Structure 1
Amino acid sequence: MIFGIERSTNGVNFTTIGTTKASVAGNQFHDYVFIDRLPEYGANFYRLKQVDVDNQFKYSKVVKARVQVEAMTMSSIYPNPVKNLVSYTIYSEVNKKVMLQISTVSGKILVSQTIYIVKGKNQQVMNVAKFAGGQYQLSVIDAQTNARLTKQVVILR
């Protein structure tokens, strides 16, 4: 007997995201753990599919879980090291104004610009061709809360 772990974002169409073999040690109860390492943002619906040795199956009750990201997150910088154009993605829960900054590792701000980002995914590209080679910090600062996300970037010359 096996258990299939299934996930859906709409509660109707499910996809198997994992399986585990059932323990067959008599009439004892057993605990099982499965961690969804890549849940979808927002609502996730989960259910178990119990498949018996004769391929008969039944489903568990559906359970709903909500996944929320922090108010704002930033992906890894690509490419890093970089020569000219650096790309990164900012994810936000709401439309907001943010400040983008490039600074030296000692904190000297070299570039500061304000942009508006939308709820969801915001792909950004910054030209760093005019900077000398070295290590810098790329920061995204929430204009309202002053929350700061910072990533290191190495510029090659």
Structure 2
Amino acid sequence: MSYNVNPFNPDNEYSNQISTELNQANENFNVLAQAFKDNDPNTGIVKHAITSDIALYGETVVSNINKYEFSFIPFSRLNVSKDGKPPYSYNLYTSYYSLPDNKLYYFDGSNWVEVNWQDWVLNDPWYQLGKLRINNGELQISNDGVNWHKIIPTVG
């Protein structure tokens, strides 16, 4: 199914403000669609995409099923510490998450630096949409706002 230009077409007339917002949203979506193969976001293929900026930390994916011609799926090299101690072996920007105190750290080349992940979460769009929450110091995710699952924040 190809991309439908101007995806927002309300059946009823709205006030001028809402109409203006919908027109702007249509314009934005139409501009964004131009970044995809055949100007169609449903292809999942971004024009001229060769690699990501963190390709060395990801895995290569070439799949017709996922509709990606060539892509990288980035992942963080996070160590999870049950006892709260940093890993014994690490490189620059290695990160670890301390389970006892729910703190996230990264190595800056000299020291372990604490990352205030809670501030980042509070500014995340998924938090503002009610899909993420911080409960008793733990990060949790939900797709329905009812069932919440613990996840671990990462740097990367």
Short-chain TM bin: under 0.3
Computing the radius of gyration from Cα coordinates, the structure with the larger value is 1
The TM-score normalised by the length of structure 1 is 0.22
Q: Which has the higher contact order (CA 8 A, sep 6+)?
A: 1
- Which structure is higher in strand share? 1
- Which structure is higher in helix share? 2
